Amino acid sequence: MFKNSVCTKAGLYVLGLCVALVSCTTTKKTTSSKSKVIATLGANPIYLSDFKYTYEKSLKNKDSAYTRSSVSSYLDLYIKFKLKILAAQKKGIDTTDAFNNELSTYKEQLAKPYLTDKAKVEELVREAYDRLKEEVRVSHILVKVDKEAEPQDTVVAYNKILELRKTVLNGKSFEQVASTHSQSPSAKQGGNIGYFTALQMVYPFENASYQTQVGSISDLLRTKFGYHFLKVTDRRKASGKIQTAHIMIMQPAKANAKDSIEAKRKIDKIYERLKAGEDWDKLCRQFSEDQPSKNKGGVLPEFGVGEAIPEFEQASFQLKEVGDFSKPVYTPYSGWHIIKLMKKRTLDTFTEVEPFIRQKVAKDSRLKVTHRSFIAKLKKINNFRLNPKVANKAIAKAGTTLLKGVWKYSPTHNGLKEGLISFEDKVLKIKKTYTVKDFFDYVVLKQVPKSNIATPTHYMRLLLDNYVDYSALDFERNNLNAKYKDYRMLVKEYKEGMMLFQMMNDKVWNKAIMDTAGARKFFEANREKYRWGKRANATIYSVANAQIMTQLKTRLVQPSYLVSKVKVNNVYFDKEQKVLDQNAQRTLLSVANLLKKNRHYKLELSGHIDPAEPVGLSSQRLQNTLDFLLRQRIGVDRITTKDYKNSKPVSIKDRRRNRRIEFAFYSSQKKDLVNELNLTNPLNVKVNQGVYEKGENDFVDKIAWEKGKTELQDKDRLVLVVIEDVLQPRLKTYKETRGKVIANYQTYLEKEWLESLKKEYPVQVNQEVIDQLVSKK
């Protein structure tokens, strides 16, 4: 096969061959010297433990594990693979910057599952699904404070929200306090934000809403917007998702009185006509001012509670039956709507909706929850320590340039080597200390201008908090190899897969494609292997019924077929005129373009005159039309003319219609014949045309190989096989079989390469170890 058809990226190659083959190292450095050796390649051992790991991973049928044939065949593949890896190491493929940069990208992806709190993610996914079964109606009071606010500003906001909550708990109306003091846009509605369900609000707000009883006041909570407390005013079963259509008359919020009255008059009139039974789609096309939807029946995307404009949403969910439509509804953003219910559905099963929820959990504010949870676990298991004295000294080095995003530190600062943060894995006996210099390097990299922060030390403390998280992940990431065998082996698989891909590309795939002289020579040396057997050049028609079959066979005997789908307007002439006017010339130019675009089309021109005109006039008009087309470089062999004179008058009142040139297009192409027969039903006829050897087509195999037509029955359809020609066996040309030659040449090159590698690294198999493996079956 061609290289590009086998694998175009190293990553894909890894997931194919390499998942089955790549798992062990080729040096003693990462494998115990006490491990048994199942084979040696020159001085390089293949350890039994490594072979067993990748062998067992490759097994699909556990019942066949450790049979002699299974072990031997897999070991043969494994040895060939290891020989190629030795060649790649010798060439230094894994030492280049490009190679290691690509490997780093793979390692980053492979590390992700190990740097996530999987249990917490699963908990949040299930929690979100359970909450989607209900909708809560909530009012809230907000005191804004920036998420990076100075401590003193945070205290002020906290004290203010605390006082407001006490006021409500002491009996003051929640709605009144919200209207007067809340800094949320919902203050005008007494803090009411309506119904919503899971995954529609920031997670802390959603959490408080679902954890608070109806009629109760929540504890204080903080989000990126500031401090809140909320009141749950209702809880109901989820409404599910609906799809609606609408007819809209625009009325902007700032429209004048005259425009507002006119918009309302229009929507009311449309509503009256709908109630009288007029067609929805027709009225939508005529009158709706929502351009994207008006020609589609006004149909809008599906939505759920909390996902649409409140007025629109409320009216939509009040519709009970599919097909019901609302009275005119006004929304401040667009104007008047009549809403029609198109579809309703309840919450999908967990299995159906899980991928969507998992995607949302990975992106919304829940991500911070899983991140914080995982960081907390890492700190605990890796014995996190922060030196507060060193931290305070480091924070004190912040200057005003930090708020501008251009802070730098002095490389001569004597505290740079001091330990700031440390981690220790006592099981693996691995310890690492992150110094002040490490932290300062992080600050230089991550700092950005901050207009919302007043003091540099506060910003430096925020950066230190982030650095603690970063260092916790960094320590864990750097020790994944030691902690998780599966991760270590998977990284090795990707690394060796990339090495293998590069070597196969250089030695086999690309070489076979680029070495055209070598491929030609290989072809000539193996000429007899590339032969055509006896072949039938056949067209196979699958036909719906006997009536269509009759039409097909009648048309097939004709040299060409009318292409009725191609229509061109007639050319008309004034009385006793033969000159082509501008309209006629434009029409003929379009005819010429059609003929140029479809080279197999032929044209029939037919001339007609009015009975009151001279008989020879139609011939002159035909000649002028023909001459015009010839000047457009349309071959004369593609045009025929028919002079009907006055034999076909079509109108007594409009005599000009009798003075005309008509156009008809014909084709000898089978696909055009099939298209004609499929005008009434696209499944009337299906056609396949090709050159077939024995065994390549069941229908061709069933009939005698001689020119002619044969009818067959295929379940509920009829089949007509037309053999155009029978081709005798012969040698293939290089062009006819180049793809197969290249594939075979690649196999040849790989075999030669492996033979040379076996000479460089003589293979010795330890039969005693194989016997021990097989005996354990």
- In order, the DSSP letters of 691-719 are EEETTS-HHHHHS-SSSEEEEEEETTEEE
pLDDT at 2 over 60: no
Q: Can you give the pLDDT at residue 125?
A: 94
pLDDT in tens, 194-231: 899 999 899 999 999 999 999 999 999 999 999 999 99
pLDDT computed for residue 309 by the predictor: 86
* Domain 134-237 and domain 241-346 have a common topology: yes
CATH T-level fold of 134-237: Chitinase A; domain 3 (3.10.50)
In this predicted structure, the answer to whether residue 480 has a pLDDT above a threshold of 50 is yes
pLDDT at position 64 is 66
Residue pair 195/182 in contact by the 8 Å Cβ criterion: no
Average pLDDT over residues 688-698: 94
Task: Give the confidence band of 239 by pLDDT, cuts at 50, 70, 90.
Answer: confident
Task: Identify any residues that bridge with 37 across adjacent strands, giving them in sequence order.
Answer: 47
- The residue written with tokens 């280049």 in the block is 96
Q: What is the 3-state secondary structure (H, E, C) of 721-764?
A: EEEEEEECCEECCHHHHHHHHHHHHHHHHHHHHHHHHHHHCCEE
Type and span of the H or E element at 193? strand 192-196
Domain boundaries, the chain: 1-91+487-526+737-777, 134-237, 241-346, 382-482, 531-550+679-731, 560-667
- Other beta carbons within 10 angstroms of residue 726's beta carbon come to 14
Mean pLDDT of 529-548: 95
**pLDDT in the model for residue 62:** 66
The answer to whether residues 319 and 341 touch, using CB atoms and an 8 Å cutoff, is yes
Mean pLDDT over residues 85-92, rounded?
96
Asked whether residue 33 carries a pLDDT value surpassing 70, the answer given is no
Would you state the pLDDT for residue 582? Answer: 93
Say yes or no to pLDDT of 168 above 70. Answer: yes
Sequence letter at residue 372: R
Is residue 739 predicted with pLDDT exceeding 90?
A: yes
CATH number listed for the domain at residues 241-346: 3.10.50.40
Average pLDDT, the chain: 90
Inform me whether the pLDDT recorded for 9 exceeds 70. no
Q: Is the pLDDT of residue 65 over 90?
A: no
Q: Confidence band (pLDDT; 50, 70, 90) for 58?
A: confident
Cα–Cα distance for residue pair 303/341, rounded to 1 Å:
12
122-159: b (≥16 Cβ within 10 Å) or e: eebbebbbebbeebbbbbbbbbebeeebbeeebeebbe
The per-residue pLDDT for 177 is 96
Contact 5, 484 (CB under 8 A): no
Residue 777: pLDDT band with limits 50, 70, 90: low
> Mean per-residue pLDDT for 501-518?
94
Pairwise pLDDT comparison (261 vs 649), residue with the higher score: 261
What kind of fold does domain 1-91+487-526+737-777 have according to CATH?
A: Triger factor/SurA peptide-binding fold (1.10.4030)
pLDDT of residue 3: 36
pLDDT at 259: 83
Buried b (16+ CB within 10 A) or exposed e, 565-604: ebeeeebbbeeeebebeeebeebbeebbebbeeeeebbbe
Residue 526: Cβ within 10 Å count: 13
The b-or-e profile of 645-680 (16+ CB within 10 A means b, else e) is bbeebeeeeeeeebbbbbbbbbbeebebbbbbbbee
> pLDDT tens digits, residue range 575-634?
999 999 999 999 999 999 999 999 999 999 999 999 989 989 999 999 999 999 999 999
Task: Assess whether pLDDT exceeds 90 at residue 238.
Answer: no
Q: What is the mean pLDDT of residues 691-705?
A: 94
Fold (CATH) for 560-667 = 60s Ribosomal Protein L30; Chain: A; (3.30.1330)
Share of the chain above pLDDT 90, in %: 77
Output the pLDDT for position 362: 84
Residue among 513, 488, 514, 505 at smallest CA distance from 88: 505
Q: Please report, in angstroms and rounded to a whole number, the separation of the first and last CA atoms in the chain.
A: 37
Please tell me the predicted confidence (pLDDT) of residue 324: 93
**Residues in contact with 275: Cβ distance below 8 Å, sequence separation at least 6, in sequence order:** none
C-alpha radius of gyration, the chain, whole number: 40
**Cα(629)–Cα(13) distance, integer angstroms:** 57
